[in-house]
């Protein structure tokens, strides 16, 4: 099972895990917090023992040593760290260089990788952008990323993007010591559950936008909203890129046999997987529905063009009758019907009027006008 990568199906093997080092190296003893090496990136860190935040030992090095001995674990939260900062963290916790490279670069695909006893998960976060009116340039879905390193004695969360904060999640977990006592796997579950729940909220908001644009599309001259439909379809695609690729990793977490994930936690992962499946089906239906609305709008454009062409053709036909008669009597022949009669002029004008009226009523009855 070592080295399995569920999103690509590749296998890798790495060196020693964080919890199995024979001795604490000088690099491991380095105080990441007190030295200021994580300044600007460190959001919060805490040492948890028996499910409770240990505030009596505020020293990071001491907490790290106790975590290595199996006495609880540390949870470090980072926000957009630099490559150097991640390298320092990776050296201290024995993180694989490939995982560190992925954590440094944003815009990663959702995935789950296993390096020894360390799990590395990439999750796409999404946020609904409120707007008064949907336009052809409106941003509806904003995306970010959360990377999680989960190993024996530690959890490291790396966040990219201005949303998807985990501070509230940490506070919620700290109110449930029994849950936190289950170990780092519980934190990984809580983060995935938090992210998937945000998918459900965003999907509900996007559904409301789709209902509005659908009603407007099938209103008179609704085809004028095609550019808005296309923009919303692009935003749904952004949501789809976050939701769909996560299905494989989440299914793996729901069935994975791993020391960090207890049987009870695995049951909770199955619940998250069920929620993800629901939102995935919903997002896929959004894409199909918007495609149908877009096709309907294009059909409306064609119908409107046909109606305009029929209307133009009808008026051309009506105008052609007096034009024909005037053209015939404008040829100046000496011998033409009613040319020399007293009432010839009004008779010809009357014939023009009657012919135009008949054609107009005929086109009107056939809904060409």
8 Å CB contact between 48 and 54? yes
Maximum CA pair distance of the chain?
A: 125
The encoded tokens of residue 180 equal 């936190």
- Helices 263-329 and 344-365: crossing angle in degrees, nearest 10, is 160
Tens digit of pLDDT at every position of the chain (369 positions): 334 444 433 333 333 334 444 333 444 456 888 888 888 899 999 999 998 998 776 688 888 888 988 889 999 999 999 999 999 999 999 999 999 999 988 788 899 999 989 999 999 999 999 887 877 788 889 889 999 999 999 999 999 987 767 878 899 999 999 989 998 999 999 999 999 999 999 999 999 988 888 888 887 776 777 888 888 888 899 899 999 999 999 999 998 888 888 888 889 999 999 999 999 999 999 988 988 888 888 877 777 778 778 888 888 888 888 888 888 877 777 777 777 777 778 888 888 888 888 888 888 888 887
pLDDT digits (tens, 9 = 90+) for 252-283: 999 888 888 888 888 999 999 999 999 999 99
Render 132-196 in DSSP notation, one character per residue.
SS--TT---EEEEEEEEEEETTEEEEEEESSS---HHHHHHHHT-HHHHTT-HHHHHHHHHHHHH
What pLDDT shows up at residue 76?
94
* Dist. CA 239–CA 202, nearest whole Å: 9
Pairing of strands 154-160, 73-79: parallel
* Dist. CA 77–CA 72, nearest whole Å: 17
pLDDT digits (tens, 9 = 90+) for 35-46: 888 888 999 999
- What torsion do the CA atoms of 50, 51, 56, 57 make, to the nearest 10 degrees? 80
Work out whether the CA dihedral 295, 297, 302, 303 comes out positive or negative: positive
Q: Sort 12 into a burial class: Cβ within 10 Å, 0-12 / 13-18 / 19+.
A: middle
Note the pTM of the prediction, 2 decimals.
0.76
* Dist. CA 283–CA 208, nearest whole Å: 13
Q: Which of 7, 1, 2, 5 is nearest to 244 (CA)?
A: 7
* Dist. CA 94–CA 97, nearest whole Å: 9
Residue 65 CA, chain-centre distance (Å), reads 40
* Dist. CA 260–CA 275, nearest whole Å: 22
DSSP 8-state code for residue 20: G
* Dist. CA 204–CA 191, nearest whole Å: 20
Q: Kind and range of the H or E element at 207?
A: helix 184-217
The total number of residues written for the chain in this structure = 369
What pLDDT shows up at residue 280?
93
What pLDDT shows up at residue 276?
94
pLDDT digits (tens, 9 = 90+) for 63-79: 888 898 888 999 999 99
């Amino acid at each position: 099972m070592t080295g399995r990568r569920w999103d690509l199906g590749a296998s890798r093997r790495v060196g020693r895990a964080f919890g199995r080092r024979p001795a604490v190296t000088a690099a491991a003893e380095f105080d990441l917090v007190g030295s200021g090496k994580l300044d600007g990136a460190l959001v919060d860190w805490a040492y948890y023992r028996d499910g409770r935040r240990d505030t009596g030992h505020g020293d990071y090095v001491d907490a790290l040593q106790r975590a290595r001995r199996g006495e609880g674990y540390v949870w470090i939260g980072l926000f957009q760290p630099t490559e150097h900062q991640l390298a320092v963290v990776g050296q201290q916790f024995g993180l694989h260089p490939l995982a560190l490279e992925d954590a440094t670069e944003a815009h990663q695909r959702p995935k789950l990788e296993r390096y020894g006893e360390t799990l590395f998960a990439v999750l796409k976060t999404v946020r609904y952008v409120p707007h008064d009116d949907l336009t052809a340039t409106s941003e509806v879905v904003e995306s970010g990323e959360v990377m999680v390193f989960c190993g024996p004695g530690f959890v490291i969360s790396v966040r990219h993007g201005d949303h998807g904060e985990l501070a509230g999640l940490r506070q919620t977990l700290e109110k449930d010591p029994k849950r936190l006592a289950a170990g780092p796997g519980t934190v990984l579950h809580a983060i995935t559950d938090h992210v998937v729940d945000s998918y459900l909220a965003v999907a509900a908001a996007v559904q409301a936008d789709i209902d509005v644009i659908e009603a407007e599309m099938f209103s008179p001259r609704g085809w004028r909203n095609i550019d808005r439909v296309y923009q919303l379809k692009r935003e749904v695609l952004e949501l789809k890129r976050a939701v769909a690729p996560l299905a494989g990793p989440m299914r793996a977490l729901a069935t994975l046999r791993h020391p960090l994930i207890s049987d009870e936690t695995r049951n909770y992962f199955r619940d998250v997987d069920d929620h993800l499946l629901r939102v995935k089906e919903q997002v896929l239906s959004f894409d199909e529905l918007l495609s149908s609305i877009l096709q309907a709008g294009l059909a409306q454009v064609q119908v409107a063009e046909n109606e305009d062409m029929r209307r133009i053709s009808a008026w051309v036909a009506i105008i052609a009758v007096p034009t024909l008669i005037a053209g015939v009597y404008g040829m100046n022949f000496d011998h033409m019907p009613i040319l020399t009669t007293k009432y010839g002029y009004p008779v010809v004008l009357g014939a023009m009027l009657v012919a135009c009226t008949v054609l107009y009523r005929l086109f009107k009855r056939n809904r060409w006008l």
